[in-house]
Structure 1
Amino acid sequence: MPDYHFNEGQLTLPASGRDCTTHVLRLPELQAVLTISRDTLSGATALEDYVTAQIEKIKRDARHVQIPEPQFTDMKNGKRVCQFSCQAEISGLVHYQQQHIILSGKSLLALAWTLGHPFTEQDHQTWQNILASFVPRETVTE
């Protein structure tokens, strides 16, 4: 039986599972939200396919969506990264977001930094500092 590890501990599952957890961290002092999501690509799905599907979902669920072309980068450590920005209206409010998606094998980690106002230079620097502070931890998946 596979073990599932998380911050507070671990569980033994009766069958293999797919980790699709999402953590939402609200930072009221910065009027920002950091969302951290996990997922696993299935079959022959590529990172580009995943990102395209996510963008289509945003376009379906929001109004006045603006998303420049996503940028894909192959890293030296075998990981693949996608970065893109997004502006969209949801429930009458305009949200501004930067996304950073890391693919390692078939495991995805998506980081999204969302503001209720256009990004300033300071906001971009804060986002870059968050990304630079990320220290990956190897996880056990089955």
Structure 2
Amino acid sequence: MGTAVVRLQGTPPRLPGLHRLRAPLNCRTPMRYHIQEGHFDLPDDGRIDRSMNVLAMPDGSGVTFIVSRDALRAHETLAQFVERQMNDLKRQVSQLQETSRNPIGVGPAMRSLAAIEIATRFRQNGQALHQRQAAFQLPDGRAVLILTASSPEPFGESELALWQRTLASFQPRD
């Protein structure tokens, strides 16, 4: 059985159930949540964006980029956040080796954001992984963006150059 669309003169078409989508948000000012494809208005009621974007080659080869989001806890520094995340990672993977941890700048030189870069290697689900991660606070103060480059192979010169170019290219939204 099909769905009928009823149009009354002077009113736009109305689909069954559409009124539920148009219900007002339970807040005074909705948050405009942007994604690559567009944006949504969502309740601005203290939610923390913990979304992830995974950008991988179709055949699974090469470096996979992962952008993830989180927020600092009350009175937490970026260094404490990174340490907490590393402790979580230790519980999720085996043979974790942190090969470096350094303060870096992300973005163009004149507008660089302070970040912490970590290089690790570990095994997950039996597969060896090599990662570079940069965690940095966004200008709003609490939001943290984590950029990860992950590969089953160690990073060579071209992968490290790609990583550096990617970090240097970051532009926060105004």
CA distance in 1, matches of 2:161, 2:44: 44
1:102 partnered with 2:130: no
When normalised by structure 2's length, the TM-score is 0.71
Q: Which residue of 2 aligns with 1:49?
A: 80
Matches within 5 A, 1:127-142: 127-138=163-174
Q: What is the Cα deviation at residue 133 of structure 1? A: 2.0
1:22-56 CA distances to partner (integer Å, 9 max, x unpaired)? 11111247522100011111210111111111111
Aligned partner of residue 117 in structure 2, secondary structure:
strand
Give 2:68's match in structure 1, choosing from 34, 37, 45: 37
How many residues align? The count is 138
Per-residue deviation, 1:77: 5.3
Equivalent in 42, 45, 50 of residue 20 of structure 1: 50
What residue ranges of structure 1 are gaps of 5+ in the alignment? none
Which letter does structure 1 place at the counterpart of 2:129? Answer: H
Query: RMSD of the TM alignment (CA)?
Result: 2.1
Question: What amino acid does structure 2 have at the position aligned with 1:27?
Answer: M
Larger Rg computed on CA atoms: 2
Gaps of 5+ in 2: 1-26
Q: Distance in 1 between matches of 2:149 and 2:31?
A: 30
Distance in 1, matches of 2:166 and 2:119, equals: 16
| Partner residue of 1:6 out of 24, 34, 37 | 34
Q: Which structure has the higher relative contact order (CA within 8 Å, separation 6+)?
A: 1
Q: Kindly report structure 1 stretches of 4+ aligned residues shifted beyond 6 Å.
A: none
More strand by share: 1
> How far apart are the structure 1 equivalents of 2:143 and 2:115?
12
